[in-house]
Amino acid sequence: MTINQTSAPLLPAPVTTDPATVLVVDDDMAGLLLASEALASNGFAVVEAEDGQQAVEQFIEHKPDVVIMDVVMPRMDGFESCAKIRECEGGRHVPILMITGLEDVESIQKAYEVGATDFVTKPINFFLLPYRITYMMRAKKTADALRESQARLDNAQRIAKLGHWEWIFEENTFNWSDECVRLLHIDTNVRHLESFLNCIHDDDRCAVAAAMDRARSEAGKFAIEFRTISDNEEDLRIMHVEAECASNGNMLGTIQDITERTKAEDQIHRLAYFDLVTGLPNRAQLNDMISVTLTHARENNSRFAVLFLDLDHFKKVNDTLGHNAGDTLLRNVSTRLKQAVKPSENSHLNVGSDRISRRETIARLGGDEFVVLLSSIDRIEDAAIAANRICKALSRSFTIEDTEVRVTTTIGISVYPADGDSADQLLKHADVAMYHAKEQGRNGYQFYSQSIHQLALERFSLERDLRTALDNNGFHLEYQPKVALKDQRLTGVEALVRWDHPQRGKVSPADFIPLAEETGLIVPLGEWVLRAACEQMMLWINEGIEPFIMAVNCSAIQLMRTDIAKVITLALENTGLNPAYLEIELTESLLMQDVEEGIVILQALKDLGVHVSIDDFGTGFSSLSYLKRLPVDKLKIDQSFIKDLTTDPGDAAIVTSMITLAHNLDLTVVAEGVEDAQQLGYLKAERCDEIQGYLISRPLSPDNFTRWVEEQYGIEALKKAA
């Protein structure tokens, strides 16, 4: 060492709480003596060594708190000695201060490479050396505390199976904690995103990647669970990952193995909510499901059904074959029930006897009692369809312990909202209906109320007759005229389907149109109406009547299940009708279900050359911003606004606004349901374009329509203009 001859400034003595041991290593005896004296006089315990080899030996023996070491020494230089001390027990984190030449930059760089903590250049100010060592000790204590804290954290994370990670966006790399590496079996040398995603089960990978991308793009957070990859399904681990974008612009996250917790929760849930014999939901879960279904039904004004099942003569099986055989039979019954109410892949297209609820819950209440919850039925008779299927499925024999066993079932049915508005009421009423069915002879079903039962039977009969009428041309069309208010000119007719039943007489469209829509029969019926209307228009034209517009209603079912433009094109081609004489009426609510899709469909119709009108305008709560985008020709004001037009200021204001709105959008306005002269006068004063209703004419058969035109306009009006 070189002695610094300059006078040192007066500084207070460094504060040392506990005597620290300093190993001073230098082959220069004068420098060694001066350094040792400066440190000892300030409360440090000093251990000396004259070369690198001796320094390693002294370190192993005394375990010093700090090492001061010259670079250039015989036997073993400071670089090699520093590296060996780092390999000794307790040497990994001990502060090592290397002494090098003032301009020896290469030595400084090499000192850091072999593990030196800091360096000091010659000549040394021995007066300041104790202060330098004190600050190094303070930094060491802080670093030791951080390492201890990190070790405690790592241990806690290991126990909790919780790791942490950082996604560095700029480099697209990951930093993993040790526990992350252990949980995911990640190669620490591979730090890109794919290395993380490749640890995730194929079925979960896309969801995790999407959650991470969304959080990154939105600078937000996410939490998701996933399964890890494993060759054995039983060895799959379930992980919970949470992360958020930090202030440094990267993403920080944690990952925890929740496999055992998930399994425990699943087991607790299964014991609480599932039947141990069949694995079906038990009464507790059934009550929860009915409560959820009740809430949904109230919000959506929909119906659902509860089917209460009791196995007939089940006690005989238990008494004859034993309880184990009885449990086996219950499991087989649960399997049959699932198959009986399971919807087919195309259940949304099913009609008639093949059509039941698309959602169902099957539960075992205990003993031989089961419940089937049909959580969404379109028709009351859907419950009867399901009950009939169940009865047929369970009537087939079972084989239990090589013995053929036959049981049947009796079912009681309650329907919300008619039969109750709570889970208890619906279950109770279905139970009552079931016992009533047993009294009637078992192996069947019974609705809770006779009125519902009769309604279901009647609807069954009506649906059967509806199919028969379609097959045998049981429908016909009537035509209601529309006239212009300005000059009373006939502008067109609306084709209305009618059904004269051989036994029931005239069936109201309000009864059979909804049934046709529910069963899907509206599709063939609508196609028939369109074709028949076009044919009639051609008949009138061929008879010499001046053409007018034929309006035909289009159902929502037709729009969803068919290519309506193709259907219309086919009808026009088959009949030869000019598309300029055809108008398609679509309800406002139908168009508002999917405005963008509605615009596409309407434009396709306009491209055919047909007219398009919005029927029942005012009832669909449409947005005016969408209305102006719809490619339509007419607005038909719903008759509910016309009925009290002259007595209700509110209706009058609405009608006036609709007419003004339509005219501003360059649309023709048609008022439906006009029945008296006062309504006519008001509409005329407000410049309504056309009217339709009983004041003009009721719907007429083709022959009666021809006579009506002759009476209203004279025989010449029937002839084409020259």
Q: What secondary structure, in 3-state letters, does 407-447 show?
A: CEEEEEEEEECCCCCCHHHHHHHHHHHHHHHHHCCCCCEEE
Q: Is residue 61 part of a domain?
A: yes
pLDDT at 344: 45
Helix (H) or strand (E) holding 636: strand 634-637
pLDDT at 659: 92
Domain count, the chain: 4
Distances (CA, A) of 46 to 25, 74, 130, 688: 10, 21, 12, 110
Residue identified by tokens 């004190």 is 134
Q: Annotate 711-722 with b (16+ C-beta within 10 A) or e (fewer).
A: eeeeeeeeeeee
Two tokens at 193?
């995103």
Angle at 354 between CA 349 and CA 356, to 5 degrees: 80
513 with 404, same domain?
no
Residue identified by tokens 């159902």 is 555
End residue of a domain, out of 262, 295, 313: 262
Cis upstream peptide for 417 (omega within 30°)? yes
110 with 191, same domain?
no
End residue of a domain, out of 152, 186, 210: 152
62 with 110, same domain?
yes
pLDDT at 150: 76
pLDDT at 359: 61
Q: Is residue 1 part of a domain?
A: no
CATH number, residue 208: 3.30.450.20
Those residues with Cβ within 8 angstroms of residue 300's Cβ, 6 or more apart along the chain or in another chain:
none
194 with 314, same domain?
no
Q: Is residue 287 part of a domain?
A: yes
- Say which amino acid occupies 649: P
Task: Let me know: does 560 contact 586? Beta carbons within 8 Å.
Answer: no
Q: Is residue 12 part of a domain?
A: no
| Ranges in the chain, pLDDT < 70 | 1-18, 102-103, 160, 231-234, 343-359, 439, 450-456, 588-594, 618-626, 715-722
pLDDT at 206: 93
531 with 549, same domain?
yes
183 with 121, same domain?
no
| Pure H helices in 301-353 | 314-321, 323-341
CATH number, residue 507: 3.20.20.450
- DSSP single-letter state for residue 347: G
Cα-to-chain-centroid distance, residue 403:
47
Nearest to 383 by CA among 346, 340, 414: 414
Give the largest Cα separation in the chain, rounded.
139
Two tokens at 559?
């729009």
Nearest to 466 by CA among 475, 456, 457, 454: 475
- H helices then E strands: how many in the chain? 26, 26
State the first-to-last Cα distance of the chain, in angstroms, to the nearest integer.
127
The whole-angstrom separation of Cα 11 and Cα 14 is 9
236 with 338, same domain?
no
End residue of a domain, out of 462, 497, 518: 462
Starting at the earlier edge strand, list the strands of the sheet with 303-312.
360-366, 369-377, 303-312, 408-416, 445-447
Q: What is the pTM of this model?
A: 0.47
Residue 204 belongs to domain spanning = 161-262
136 with 167, same domain?
no
Q: Is residue 467 part of a domain?
A: no
255 with 310, same domain?
no
pLDDT at 305: 94
Q: Annotate 423-447 with b (16+ C-beta within 10 A) or e (fewer).
A: beebbbbbbbbbeebbeeeebebbb
Tally Cβ neighbours within 10 Å of residue 41.
Answer: 10
300 with 213, same domain?
no
456 with 491, same domain?
no
Task: Let me know: does 74 contact 125? Beta carbons within 8 Å.
Answer: no
Segment 35-76, tens digit of pLDDT: 899 999 998 999 999 999 999 999 999 999 999 999 888 889
Burial class (CB in 10 A: 0-12, 13-18, 19+), 302: middle
SS3 (DSSP) at 563: coil
229 with 281, same domain?
no
Q: Is residue 269 part of a domain?
A: no
The whole-angstrom separation of Cα 503 and Cα 474 is 12
Q: Is residue 13 part of a domain?
A: no
Q: Is residue 489 part of a domain?
A: yes
pLDDT at 586: 86
Task: Let me know: does 385 contact 463? Beta carbons within 8 Å.
Answer: no
